[in-house]
Amino acid sequence: MSNKPNNSIIIKKLLFLVVAMFGFGFAMVPIYDVFCEITGINGKTSNNAAIYQGQEVDEERKITIQFVSVIKRGMPWEFQPEVTEMTVYPGQIYQTSFLAKNVSDNDLTGQAIPSIAPGNAALYLNKTECFCFNEQKLLANQSIEMPLVFFIDKDLPEEVHTLTLSYSLYNISNNQQENEVTAL
């Protein structure tokens, strides 16, 4: 066929498109993370500790912040907030804590993953200290009080009156062991 050489050009272009789109699927992973971090629309909070520089406190405005704890399947711990609700002023720093107890007979490692509703408030909740920044290791039957120090930015959007901060607790002990094995 006379158009054979022609064919191969189109085929190459199309195969390039296929490979590029396969790559795009993977590129969506960092794009998604960066996008959510910048806009804070996914309820994800920063994984880094914020620094409190003595913000101006807006005592005109009261915000209710609710604390929720979720224990994921395969995590034999007790896990709950010390208080389920606080009323706070934007700009002021507060401390509360979550209580965890390993009720199993094994030493386990947990990781708490935070999420905020409504999503657009996520950027305005700043945590100067949070147990979610690190893994938590608990020996069998050990319990722990895990501190959370936070302040709400006074630029929090007007329409937000109530924030829900939820922590999902995952058992990451298996991953931990695997990592240790590969490290050896």
User: Cβ of residue 60: shortest distance to another protein, in angstroms?
Assistant: 25
HSE toward the beta carbon, residue 49, CA cutoff 13 A: 12
Question: Out of 66, 120, 128, 176, which residue is the one contacting another protein (CB under 8 A)?
Answer: 120
Biggest CA pair distance of the chain: 81
Is residue 57 a contact point for another protein (CB under 8 A)?
no
Contacting another protein (CB under 8 A), which of 99, 104, 119, 129? 119
- Burial (CB < 10 A; 0-12, 13-18, 19+), residue 135, is middle
- Cβ contacts of residue 174 below 8 Å, gap of 6+? none
12-31: which residues touch another protein (CB under 8 A)? Answer: 14-15, 17-19, 21-26, 28-29
Of residues 22 and 143, the one with the C-beta less far from another protein: 22
CB of 145: closest distance to another protein in angstroms? 22
Please compute, for residue 82, the number of CA atoms within 13 A of its CA located in the half-sphere on the CB side.
Answer: 11
Rg, C-alpha atoms of the chain: 23
- Candidate residues 55, 92, 168, 176; the one interacting with another protein per rule CB under 8 A: 168
- Non-local (6+) Cβ contacts of 62 within 8 A are 87, 88, 89
Site residues, another protein (CB under 8 A): 3, 6-7, 10-11, 14-15, 17-19, 21-26, 28-29, 32-33, 36, 39, 41-44, 72, 111, 113, 117-120, 168, 170-172, 175, 178
